[in-house]
A and B are shown apart, each in its own frame.
Chain A
């Protein structure tokens, strides 16, 4: 089984590599030197002052994100990952765009050097991907070793992810203006804010309370008897109906159904979103797999990690090996240190701050970030301070 696993994974990666190599000409990111050469030189706005100290990506006069600010911001990201969970990747993107002054710098060249504008966008997306992608590698390896990965289902989902993760970098590297990226990022943050908000409402909380009550009631009812020794023959998964729009199956005698197109389409869109915005799709896979497909946690656990990992590998490979987009490594290193410090601090503070208040805090922050980025990206100015 292990040999088969490696063979299947190896074939998938090889296919993605070959596909990326053969179609790499469709969208070429520009190198830093080319972008600098094509940017007007001078001291006015939108021009490069060649006498200035090199900063981000080695561009003269570019802000040099001080590693310590990245470190502090990453502590916040790690703290979110270890308390609320899914929102951490978004916060990483927020940091790269806003906190380190990269957005304003890139925007200055919107009219004078669109190539430089787009180079900054691509580098931000890659920086985000590296951080989350490396982490997904560790999770997937651990889950595989624990035997929690059901490979065929993971590959089915990953198939859509590979397509989305491969197509988007190839088609969009060098073509996305920073303002558009910021606008779409803002919309994504809005969507997450609404999901988090719903979770804190009475209806959202009621669903969780009902689930807890049902689980507790069942737990108490089985304490006195052994449910497996019912004498009824149980036989795993059996597909009872298969068509393009519906798959019905019994899972140990209980009937479930889902649309088989969902895993492929869902995998595609989640991976495409992750590749386009440069943020991890992991936080979307788990609710997607459980609510759309109704899959048991046992399967979701490793499957989602595999799907995230495959999508990340492909999109990062597409950016780094073929497109040659530079990454500001010291900043990533400082941020990784900050993330793991935050992830250590988070469990200690969660003893004193209830889950629901953490979520409410993040909802407020997410709405603010969503409004600011969406308006700044699509209107050219922010309607909330700092303007």
Chain B
């Protein structure tokens, strides 16, 4: 076990020895580990978002602009303008999409470290799947516990000042998202004119 994990090991393993019941302790300890991973991830992705907010805003602006243009082109039945605007909207979206994929690493990075420590400690532990001849290991237990930890933390997250501030910033984007036209905006009911976008 590398030195980094040796330092954390006594603290992390303590949570696996609370009740004395193996199954309960394993899930409790894994839940604490997952919670730590979630909190670290939420903190770093918030910082990453603040650092590149302007770039994200620019990408989003381009995407919304060309998407709205493509909706207007369809409404005007201009296929050439629609194809042009749609192509540009997809390019802008593509940049935004891959940038988002890279940024999501800011949320996910604690997971492999958590799994690395679990591998050193629990590699030999098998969890049989009921009614099958198969069993799974520590990864199959950690991942659903991580999802549970994510939702648990989400309920209390906005009581912390840092995340409350992040919520205010993110809520301001909801208005921007509403500005993106959808094709549903063009739909009419029989006898009714289309609503203005």
Residues of chain A having any CB pair with chain B under 8 Å: 21, 77-78, 81-82, 85-86, 88, 130-132, 134-136, 138-139, 142, 146, 208, 210-215, 217-219, 222, 226-231, 233-236, 251-255, 282-283, 286-287, 290, 294, 296-298, 300-301, 304-305, 320-322, 324, 327, 329-330, 332-333, 336-337, 339-340, 342-344, 346-347, 350
Contact = CB atoms under 8 A, between A and B. Distances in A.
Q: Kindly name the residue among B97, B134, B140 whose own CB sees the greatest number of chain A CB atoms within 10 A.
A: B97
17 contacts: A82-B102, A135-B102, A212-B84, A215-B81, A218-B81, A222-B76, A228-B194, A229-B196, A234-B186, A252-B74, A290-B87, A294-B86, A296-B183, A297-B89, A332-B112, A333-B111, A340-B103
A214 B76 CA distance: 14
Contact of B101 (A139, A214, A333): A139
Given A215-B81, A236-B183, A286 B74 contact: no
A336 B85 contact: no
B63 A297 contact: yes
Contact of A304 (B97, B111, B112): B97
Interface residues of B, number: 77
List of 10 A-B pairs having minimum Cβ-Cβ separation, nearest first:
A347-B55, A343-B102, A329-B116, A81-B102, A333-B112, A214-B84, A340-B106, A218-B81, A138-B104, A297-B89
A208 B87 CA distance: 8
B97 A301 contact: yes
Given A139-B101, A235-B188, A336 B196 contact: no
Contacts of A214: 80-81, 83-85
B82 interface: yes
A297 B84 CA distance: 12
Contacts of A327: 115
B76 A230 contact: yes
B183 A251 contact: yes
Given A136-B101, A139-B100, A340-B48, A218 B84 contact: yes
Contacts of A215: 66, 69, 81, 84-85, 88
Contacts of B185: 228
B32 interface: no
A191 B94 CA distance: 19
Given A135-B105, A215-B84, A228-B194, A82 B74 contact: no
A131 B102 CA distance: 10
A255 B74 CA distance: 10
Interface of B: 2, 44-45, 48, 51-52, 54-55, 63, 66-67, 69-70, 72-91, 93-95, 97-113, 115-116, 119, 132, 134, 136-137, 139-140, 177, 180, 182-188, 190, 193-197
